[in-house]
Amino acid sequence: MIRRTQVAIIGAGPSGLLLSRLLHLQGIDTVVLERHTREYVEARVRAGVLESSTVELLREAGVGERLGREGLVHEGFELAFAGRTHRIDLQGLTGRHVVVYGQTEIQRDLGAAHAAAGAAIEWQAQQVSLHGLQSQQPCVRWQQAAAARELRCDFVAGCDGYHGVSRASIPAEHLAQYELLYPVGWLGILADVAPVSEELIYARHARGFALCSMRSRTRSRYYVQCPLTDRVEDWPDERFWDELRARLPAAHAARLQTGSSIEKSIAPLRSFVAEPLRFGRLFLIGDAAHIVPPAGAKGLNLALGDVRLLHRALVEHYRTGSDTLLQEYSARALRRVWKATRFSWWFTQLMHRLSQEPMAERLQLAELEYLSESRAACTALAENYVGLTPAEP
């Protein structure tokens, strides 16, 4: 079966669904292909700290109502080190804040909006392949329910993540790839317990990094640094809570509420950037092109920043016939991507135990002391955390 659309979108995560939603509101036809089921995609536990530009974009897409009701506005966060804490006053230093609202909830909001609009999403699309990307009419082929399908389109948006087909469809000689692997992972759990603090706590400890985050006032998301060789089975709940408590300042450890985990996973840390973000009529978005370690909460925000730029460029193309913004998409997106990659790398180096060298530990503590004493240093951290100004068309 052969179909026709204007924009084929590979991947039905937040970036793919948001791009489709924004284009739909402008009368631009899309089809989204996703290899998993809707239930699987909506159950994935991911990021939860949103920059103000991300919140504005979700509102523009008409999916900001529940976010406005349930999102938690955070005007600062705490750095914990050497048994004490120092608060980074985001609002006071930058005039901006972040909003805590889980990616799972964004996924559900977008899914509901698409269902209500009758948008075209092909779930369980298997063996997806991209063809004719440098021609005027690329096409996407896949298998679904044992039948061969083909979609002809004007453009392809690759929103299918690090392991997806989109980046893999670009010949190696047309792509530069940069990668840094870190020697540790994040063990994260989700639990229905009240957060230990109203704001996030990033803890640097001799035993390793820890993060106290949340998804709501009754659901907490906690992480501890662990070796890459560890397995989830090595970390029963009791061991996790004991380790988290040991890495927090005494006052916070005393307030920590514990309970049974409802999700537990280990994620390796990496910095990765591929460039350019365009090959012919294929455009890469989010994890398909760049990954940052989760410290600093940049991953989802960067992906939706890509969506903002590509959406504006496609609207310009269909409204005016101009391809200026399409031609500028990669350069505009990469300017922000590299700055956020630098920040995430720096923050990871600052807060994690990546080396057993005593010198490395003393340098970390010296930099944290400097942060606690310097408004200028805190302002630089805060500016990056709330999000550098998007590269608007």
Task: Indicate if 280 and 336 belong to the same structural domain.
Answer: yes
In this structure, is residue 94 part of a structural domain? no
* Chain mean pLDDT for the chain: 96
pLDDT band of 42, cuts 50, 70, 90: confident
Q: Can you give the CATH number for the domain in which 239 is found?
A: 3.30.9.10
Task: Read off the pLDDT of each residue in 243-265 and give the average, rounded to a whole number.
Answer: 96
In this structure, is residue 85 part of a structural domain? no
Task: Indicate if 14 and 60 belong to the same structural domain.
Answer: yes
The pLDDT > 90 percentage for the chain reads: 94
Q: What is the extent of the structural domain holding 258?
A: 182-269+355-384
Task: Indicate if 364 and 348 belong to the same structural domain.
Answer: no
Catalytic residue among 14, 195, 293, 294: 294
Task: Indicate if 147 and 203 belong to the same structural domain.
Answer: no
Task: Indicate if 117 and 261 belong to the same structural domain.
Answer: no
In this structure, is residue 309 part of a structural domain? yes
Half-sphere exposure of residue 194: CA atoms within 13 angstroms, side-chain side = 7
- Told to judge if 74 belongs to the known catalytic residues of this protein, a careful annotator would answer yes
Encode pLDDT of 333-347 as tens digits. 999 999 999 999 999
Structure tokens at 331: 């350069």
Task: Indicate if 187 and 166 belong to the same structural domain.
Answer: no
Task: Read off the pLDDT of each residue in 174-180 and give the average, rounded to a whole number.
Answer: 98
Task: Indicate if 250 and 367 belong to the same structural domain.
Answer: yes
Task: Read off the pLDDT of each residue in 194-204 and give the average, rounded to a whole number.
Answer: 97
Helices (H), the chain: 14-25, 38-43, 52-60, 65-70, 90-94, 103-117, 165-168, 237-247, 250-255, 299-320, 324-351, 358-373, 375-386
Is the omega angle on the peptide bond into residue 276 within 30 degrees of 0, that is, cis?
yes
Nearest to 169 by CA among 261, 278, 329: 278
In this structure, is residue 390 part of a structural domain? no
Catalytic residue among 101, 182, 202, 222: 202
pLDDT band of 393, cuts 50, 70, 90: very low
In this structure, is residue 393 part of a structural domain? no
Task: Read off the pLDDT of each residue in 218-246 and give the average, rounded to a whole number.
Answer: 97
**Residue 94 confidence (pLDDT):** 97
Domains contained in the chain, number: 2
- Told to judge if 101 belongs to the known catalytic residues of this protein, a careful annotator would answer no
Q: At residue 375, does pLDDT exceed 90? A: yes
Amino acid at 111: G
Crossing angle of helices 358-373 and 324-351, rounded to 10°: 110
Q: At residue 45, does pLDDT exceed 80? A: no
Catalytic residue among 290, 298, 311, 352: 298
**Residue 390 confidence (pLDDT):** 59
**Residue 148 confidence (pLDDT):** 95
Task: Read off the pLDDT of each residue in 180-206 and give the average, rounded to a whole number.
Answer: 97
Task: Indicate if 168 and 263 belong to the same structural domain.
Answer: no
Q: List, in order, residues 6 or more apart from 333 with CB less than 8 Å away.
A: 277, 305, 306, 309, 391
Q: What's the pTM value of the predicted model, to 2 decimals?
A: 0.95
Catalytic residue among 222, 223, 329, 385: 385
Task: Indicate if 243 and 107 belong to the same structural domain.
Answer: no
- Told to judge if 298 belongs to the known catalytic residues of this protein, a careful annotator would answer yes
Q: At residue 44, does pLDDT exceed 90? A: no
Encode pLDDT of 79-134 as tens digits. 999 999 999 999 999 999 999 999 999 999 999 999 999 889 999 999 999 999 99
Q: At residue 22, does pLDDT exceed 50? A: yes
Q: At residue 41, does pLDDT exceed 70? A: yes
Structure tokens at 30: 């899309």
**Residue 312 confidence (pLDDT):** 98
Q: Can you give the CATH number for the domain in which 25 is found?
A: 3.50.50.60
Task: Read off the pLDDT of each residue in 149-163 and give the average, rounded to a whole number.
Answer: 97
Task: Indicate if 106 and 248 belong to the same structural domain.
Answer: no
Catalytic residue among 24, 74, 114, 352: 74
Task: Indicate if 191 and 50 belong to the same structural domain.
Answer: no
In this structure, is residue 346 part of a structural domain? yes
Encode pLDDT of 130-147 as tens digits. 999 999 999 999 999 889
Instruction: Round to whole Å and give the CA distance between 273 and 249.
Output: 36
Q: At residue 241, does pLDDT exceed 80? A: yes
Task: Indicate if 171 and 303 belong to the same structural domain.
Answer: yes
**Residue 145 confidence (pLDDT):** 86
What is the DSSP code (8-state) at residue 287? G
In this structure, is residue 322 part of a structural domain? yes
In this structure, is residue 379 part of a structural domain? yes
Coil, helix or strand for 236? Answer: coil
